[in-house]
Amino acid sequence: MKEKVILAYSGGLDTTAIIPWLKENYDYDVVCVCADVGQGNEIDGLEERAKLSGAEKLYIEDLTDEFVNDYVIPCVQADAVYENKYLLGTSMARPVIAKRLVEIARKEGAVAICHGATGKGNDQVRFELTIKALAPDLEIIAPWRCNETWKMQSREDEIEYCKQHGIDLPFSADSSYSRDRNLWHISHEGLELEDPANEPNYEHLLVLGTTPEKAPEEGEYITLSFEKGKPVALNGEKMKASDIIRKLNELGGKHGIGIVDIVENRVVGMKSRGVYETPGGTILLEAHKQLEELIHDKDTMAFKKTIDAKFADVVYEGKWFTPLREALQAFVESTQEYVTGEVKMKLYKGNIIKAGTTSPYSLYNESIASFTTGDLYDHHDAEGFINLFGLSLKVRAMKMAEIEKNQK
């Protein structure tokens, strides 16, 4: 009996070509695993394609709710955004996928896991750090780094290789964007985006929504409800988090929300340019931030921003299964105890406009904050506070005046 390798399989040209390449160069039985993290109809017809390509077996694993509940929601609670723009769509999905690859490797008694990530990208890091953390004994095969045996450098090369091995599938050599899609987002790289001087061809590019210019002339109000930092209802209707994101994707896409053009710093050191569509995630994160600003005290809010930024870096770098991520998440979760309430917003031509936030734990006190004098605030108290708060400034100014006088 041959040894087995687990292949992270999408059904695209790259992973299809990898199947005969693995059999030819390693003499392994290939077990394909396709993780469904909400990419829609991309998984249609994969079983037949995998078998035609020489795979012994195909697992199609529905990980959507696990992805949302265990990975997306902690990132929402952490307001995790990489370099102030990227909402971590691909970054969050890779650890849950790699975790399932390891689980199936154990079930199948496999000796290796193979992925199709290139040697220039972040995904190789994210897949492999997870595998090393959960199964350090398993071999990792990355064909794009196997210069001696992986000779294919283009889609044409891969199509020809497949044909040579009796695999004649309807793949096209036409150039297109490199995309990654899941329930949270879709990313676009390549073509005109490779030059930061070029404006994105949004007519050709967008999948989940439209540009703000083409969004409806009428805005739309929505209300999101949270319990302990987790979304639990949309417009008063209770639903699970994954369904909330699905509905928000429709609403956000309709109103041109969540389109980001970014040049980011990859883990491997280079800069890359991409366009991300994250309509539902953008709305959800903004609602969560609006609720937090009503509830957190000043010191917690300021320190949490530092933790949130570090959490985003850790997730982006593929370090999900690390003590640091666990510790950061423990802090974040402790801050979410009272992040409960409702956030009303207006969606209009790419904008998310505040329309009212309420919470039973709000620290906003109208008696203190209003211009009229309330019972809890005496204007005269401010004088003593300012004298003490500015004492160091006054002492320094006095000393500098003394020095200047003595120098005359």
Q: What average pLDDT does this structure show over 361-374?
A: 78
> What tens digit of pLDDT does each residue of 263-294 get?
999 999 999 999 999 999 999 999 999 999 99
Q: Which of 10, 14, 126, 181 is catalytic?
A: 14
Place of tokens 């020095």: 403
pLDDT averaged over every residue in the chain? 95
Examine the pLDDT at 402 and tell me if it is beyond 70. Answer: yes
- pLDDT at position 379: 85
Q: Is 405 helix (H, G, I), strand (E, B) or coil?
A: helix
Rg (CA), the chain: 26
List the one residue out of 1, 2, 3 whose CA is nearest residue 110.
3
Q: What average pLDDT does this structure show over 193-215?
A: 97
Examine the pLDDT at 373 and tell me if it is beyond 70. Answer: no
Domains of the chain, CATH where assigned: 4-164 (3.40.50.620), 178-296+339-358 (3.90.1260.10), 367-407 (no CATH)
Examine the pLDDT at 364 and tell me if it is beyond 90. Answer: yes
Alpha-carbon span 82 to 308, nearest angstrom: 10
Tell me the percentage of the chain whose pLDDT exceeds 90: 90
- pLDDT at position 304: 98
How far is CA 288 from each of CA 184, 339, 371, rounded to the nearest angstrom? 16, 8, 28
> What tens digit of pLDDT does each residue of 315-336 get?
999 999 999 999 999 999 999 9
Among the residue ranges 46-50, 97-101, 265-269, 375-379, the one predicted with the least confidence is: 375-379
Phi, psi of 163 (to 5 degrees): -65, -40
Examine the pLDDT at 23 and tell me if it is beyond 90. Answer: yes
177 or 408: which leads in pLDDT: 177
CB 110 within 8 A of CB 3: yes
Examine the pLDDT at 374 and tell me if it is beyond 70. Answer: no
Q: What average pLDDT does this structure show over 98-117?
A: 98
- pLDDT at position 400: 96
Examine the pLDDT at 255 and tell me if it is beyond 70. Answer: yes
Q: Which of 62, 106, 178, 396 is catalytic?
A: 178
Q: Which of 79, 123, 180, 308 is catalytic?
A: 123
Q: What is the 3-state secondary structure (H, E, C) of 63-84?
A: CHHHHHHHHHHHHHHCCCCECC
Q: Which of 29, 79, 94, 126 is catalytic?
A: 94
Alpha helices in 7-63 (DSSP H): 13-26, 46-52
Instruction: Note if 180 is an active site residue.
Output: no
Phi-psi region of 38 (alpha: psi -120 to 50; beta: other; left: phi over 0): left
Alpha-carbon span 312 to 80, nearest angstrom: 5
- pLDDT at position 174: 74
- pLDDT at position 3: 97
Instruction: Note if 325 is an active site residue.
Output: no
Q: What average pLDDT does this structure show over 371-375?
A: 65
- pLDDT at position 155: 87
Confidence of residue 362 (pLDDT cuts 50, 70, 90): very high
Instruction: Note if 91 is an active site residue.
Output: no
Confidence of residue 227 (pLDDT cuts 50, 70, 90): very high
**What token pair was written down for 320?**
């999900």
392, burial (CB in 10 Å: exposed 0-12, middle 13-18, buried 19+): exposed
Examine the pLDDT at 71 and tell me if it is beyond 80. Answer: yes
Query: What residue ranges in 82-200 does DSSP mark as E strands?
Result: 112-114, 139-141, 178-181, 186-189
164, burial (CB in 10 Å: exposed 0-12, middle 13-18, buried 19+): exposed
Alpha-carbon span 115 to 98, nearest angstrom: 9
Q: Which amino acid is at 380?
A: H
- pLDDT at position 370: 72
Partners of 274 in the β-ladder: 262
Instruction: Note if 334 is an active site residue.
Output: no
> What tens digit of pLDDT does each residue of 117-169 get?
999 999 999 999 999 999 999 999 999 999 999 999 988 999 999 999 999 88
Tell me the percentage of the chain whose pLDDT exceeds 70: 99
- pLDDT at position 39: 92
Examine the pLDDT at 367 and tell me if it is beyond 80. Answer: no
Examine the pLDDT at 371 and tell me if it is beyond 70. Answer: no
- pLDDT at position 377: 81
Examine the pLDDT at 355 and tell me if it is beyond 80. Answer: yes
